[in-house]
């Protein structure tokens, strides 16, 4: 099969780019021909660049022609869109319709029902725009990049393509990452019969078994939405919690340094900074559990899947996709979202019940082999691709 991927890269590289690359590698390993037409937001510079990007976000005729040319050159059988915003725009769907080939859209976030793409505002879950013909609340609060003007453009894109029937009629199949995400997308107006669920996956290297040590692990970006401040507050509330190792970097690093100094947590919290993947896997093999305290719904965090592959149970809030991926009492524990005391209690339980944690470890690794391996993902992806040819 000849598969053309389309992807608009963000200025801040995140997990989405890794997913696109991993899927491309997986398909190529299985003998498919894959090319990726990729554009980057790095080129959006100055007022002129922003003005052009703003106009193109709603409908880019140049991107439509670019995709048509690429389809013809590559002789694509199918187009798989990962991100069209803002430079490619939904016009890429029309290019696929012009050539009468199926188009698949993976929804890595909530962009089609929320101007900010996160269903998150002022450090709280927000669904004010879900199901609205025009997301006026998003404009009111300037949800996209803190700008009412830029949010108005994103909202116009969402509203115009809703009225035009783009979301309903020009995509053969949407891929949601969890059942939770699918339900939110349906509430936002996407057609349920065109959404199929396929989780992300990860390649995991072979590694020797390492003995478990007495520390708790956090891996992720140091940002408000990741709940890292709630985790540190749990350590402030309970001085008996095991050593916490934090792997990652981000805008909250100075705030965390200040919090640790103010509350004398130096001997209980280690900020490791950004670490290579090999080191992350070593930490996951040695920790008691991973804590993933995010305060937004999340899409599909690869960090949780990587933890499962290492046989590491995960503590997550009973919120969004996280509560679906981690089965409470089986592959980890749930705590009440943004409740630092409850989180501290769950960490305490994990540190004091090693036999139960060992059982969770086995179940977590089994879940990885059952659902999140490259082969399991490839089989699911092929089934989606094949079904798209019958729904043209």
DSSP per residue, 54-72: HHHHH--HHHHHHHHHHHH
pLDDT at position 390, please? 79
Q: Which tokens go with 167?
A: 């979301």
What is the spatial distance between Cα 70 and Cα 301, in angstroms, rounded to a whole number? 32
What are 30's two structure tokens?
Answer: 């299985």
Averaged in consecutive runs of 10 residues, what is the pLDDT profile of the chain (392 residues)? 94 77 96 95 56 77 96 98 95 97 97 97 96 96 94 96 96 98 98 97 79 92 97 97 97 97 97 95 96 97 96 97 98 97 98 96 96 96 94 62
Phi then psi dihedrals of residue 38, to 5 deg? -125, 135
Q: What is the pLDDT of residue 65?
A: 97
Between the CA of residue 343 and those of 229, 235, 293, 311, 313, what are the distances in Å?
12, 9, 8, 21, 14
- Rounded Cα–Cα distance for residues 296 and 319 (Å): 8
Q: CA distances (Å), 262 to each of 152, 251, 374, in order?
A: 41, 19, 45
Token pair of 24, please?
Answer: 């491309």
pLDDT value at residue 213 = 86
> Are the C-beta atoms of residues 244 and 311 closer than 8 Å to each other?
no
Q: How far apart are CA 292 and CA 219, in angstroms?
A: 8
User: For residue 282, what pLDDT is reported?
Assistant: 93
Q: Are strands 243-247 and 269-273 parallel, antiparallel or unpaired?
A: parallel
Q: Which two tokens stand for residue 236?
A: 């402030």
CA 374, 376, 379, 381 dihedral sign is: negative
Both structure tokens of 122: 């002022």
pTM exceeds 0.95, yes or no? no
Radius of gyration of the chain measured on its C-alpha atoms: 22
At residue 11, the pLDDT reads 59
C-alpha span between 391 and 387 (Å, rounded): 7
Return the pLDDT at 344.
98
Name beta bridge partners: 9.
Answer: 40
Using a 10 angstrom Cβ sphere, with 0-12 exposed, 13-18 middle and 19 or more buried, the burial of residue 6 is buried
pLDDT score for 50? 59
> Would you call the peptide bond into 222 cis, given omega within 30 degrees of 0 as the criterion?
no
């Amino acid at each position: 099969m000849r598969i053309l991927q389309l992807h608009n890269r963000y200025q801040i590289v995140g997990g989405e780019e890794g997913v696109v690359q991993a899927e491309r590698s997986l398909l190529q390993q299985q003998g498919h021909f894959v090319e990726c037409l990729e554009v980057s937001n790095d080129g959006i510079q100055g007022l002129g660049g922003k003005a052009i990007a703003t106009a193109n976000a709603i409908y880019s005729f140049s991107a439509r022609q670019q995709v048509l040319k690429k389809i013809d050159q590559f002789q694509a059988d199918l187009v798989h869109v990962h991100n069209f915003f803002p430079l490619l725009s939904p016009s890429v769907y029309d290019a696929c319709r012009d050539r009468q080939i199926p188009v698949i859209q993976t929804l890595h976030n909530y962009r089609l029902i929320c101007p900010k793409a996160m269903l998150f505002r002022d450090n709280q879950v927000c669904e004010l725009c879900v199901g609205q013909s025009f997301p006026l609340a998003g404009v009111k609060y300037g949800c996209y990049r803190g700008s009412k003007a830029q949010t108005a453009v994103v909202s116009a894109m969402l509203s115009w393509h809703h009225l035009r029937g783009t979301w309903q009629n020009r995509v053969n199949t949407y891929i949601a990452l969890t059942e939770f995400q699918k339900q939110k997308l349906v509430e936002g107006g996407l057609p349920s019969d065109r959404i199929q669920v396929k989780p992300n996956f990860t390649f995991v290297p072979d590694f020797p078994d390492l003995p478990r040590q007495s520390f708790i692990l956090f891996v992720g970006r140091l940002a408000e939405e990741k709940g890292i401040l709630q985790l540190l507050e749990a350590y402030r509330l309970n001085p008996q919690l095991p050593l916490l190792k934090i792997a990652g970097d981000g805008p909250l690093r100075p705030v965390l340094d200040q919090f640790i100094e103010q509350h004398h947590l130096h001997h209980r919290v280690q900020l490791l900074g950004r670490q290579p993947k090999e080191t992350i896997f070593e930490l996951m093999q040695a920790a008691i559990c991973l804590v993933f305290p995010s305060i937004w719904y999340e899409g599909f965090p690869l960090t949780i899947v990587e933890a499962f592959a290492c046989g590491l149970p995960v503590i997550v809030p009973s919120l969004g996709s996280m509560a679906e991926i981690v089965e409470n009492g089986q592959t980890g524990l749930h705590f009440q979202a943004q409740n630092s005391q409850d989180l501290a209690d769950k960490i305490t339980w994990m540190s004091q019940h090693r036999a139960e944690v060992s059982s969770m470890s086995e179940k977590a690794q089994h879940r990885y082999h059952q659902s999140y391996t490259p082969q399991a993902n490839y089989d699911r992806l092929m089934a989606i691709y094949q079904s798209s040819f019958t729904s043209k």
